[in-house]
Amino acid sequence: MPRCARVKEKDAIYHVMVKSIAEIPLFKKDDDKNEYLNLMKRYQMVYGFKVYAYCIMTNHAHFIIDPKGADISKIMHGLNFKYAQTFNKNHKRNGHLFQDRFKSKIVNTDKYLLTLSAYIHNNPLKIKGYEKCPEKYKYSSLKVYLGLEKDDTGLLDEGFIMQMFDQNVNKAREDYLKFVYICDDDRIKKEVEFKDEKTEYKSERKIIVRDFDPKDIAKFIAEETGVNEVMLHVKNSRNTKVARALATLLMRSLCNYKCSDICKFLGNITQSRVSKLCCIGVDIISKDERYRDIINKFIIEHAAAA
């Protein structure tokens, strides 16, 4: 039977759920959960999406993701494929890991968004030892919402939901506590310390256009790196590795290009090489201050030119 087409909209926010096949835990150890979050962060650097909430359990995980105009399928398919490869290698196994495709549902109202965040954050209630304290569960964004810990993943934008409760951080956290722990809020209040350098929440959504011309990207990267634009199409040149990696990253992020399309544009290289160049590009913008904001710089300059 053919699959039903996934419902997608360019400016949508999604509730995304991933689940393992019945007999295999999706995350056997904490290291697996860390690996998934680390991989998601790398894909976030490619596509620029936002994560508003998450909770990772043993055999499934929930996320609220704002793709900001990117294709949610490209994000999740790439992420899950890479994670399955890593998981199988680490645990010396073969075969499928995920149960069918990832599940996604469009979040179409603020009421649904708020209720969904509480639902996700209450998932640990099902785990022995967390029945009355889901805020202590390590692999959930609730601890960040309540100011118990910093977001060490670098993934989260909790402000988008929290600003709906109050602009003031302490007041928003207090109200969110009441919302999530409405049946037992007095006990929770005593345990939570509202300590943070923030004084108010501010978060805005911005949909990024994803149909930029790869020729414009190639020209921009050539100018930024000082590499002759023609050399971007020459394979196996050490002198152009950085430029080709950055060009690949921007095309993957902003052109809605498949790996096969980038292969043709750059000179008929393999898809595995495109994936490798994209990874190199992520490392470059992570570590090299000169190129840290290169994606936003291209977007701003292109918008100004238009």
Burial class from Cβ neighbours inside 10 Å (0-12, 13-18, 19+) for residue 141 reads buried
Say which CATH number the domain at 89 has: 3.30.70.1290
pTM for this model (two decimals): 0.83
Summarize the confidence of residues 276-297 as an average pLDDT: 93
Cα separation, 195 vs 203, whole angstroms: 20
Cα separation, 167 vs 165, whole angstroms: 7
Give tens-digit pLDDT for 185-242. 344 334 333 344 455 666 777 888 788 999 999 999 999 999 999 888 877 677 789 9
Residue 133 belongs to a domain = yes
Give tens-digit pLDDT for 74-106. 999 999 999 999 999 999 988 888 877 788 899
Shared domain for 38 and 165, answered yes or no, is: yes
Residue 63 belongs to a domain = yes
Beta carbons of 19 and 55 less than 8 angstroms apart: no
Q: Look at residues 200, 190, 189, 209 and name the one whose alpha carbon lies nearest to residue 70.
A: 209
Which tokens belong to 266? Answer: 């750059």
Question: Which residues, in sequence order, are bridge partners of residue 15?
Answer: 64, 105
Which tokens belong to 167? Answer: 């602009």
What are the residues whose beta carbons fall under 8 Å from the beta carbon of 227, sequence distance 6 or more? 221, 239, 240, 243
Residue 41 belongs to a domain = yes
Its domain, for residue 66, covers 13-191
Shared domain for 116 and 172, answered yes or no, is: yes
Count: domains in the chain: 2
What is the pLDDT, as a whole number, of residue 23?
77
Shared domain for 49 and 184, answered yes or no, is: yes
**Max CA separation in the chain (angstroms):** 66
Residue 198 belongs to a domain = no
Shared domain for 76 and 184, answered yes or no, is: yes
Cα separation, 63 vs 205, whole angstroms: 17
Say which CATH number the domain at 271 has: 1.10.1750.10
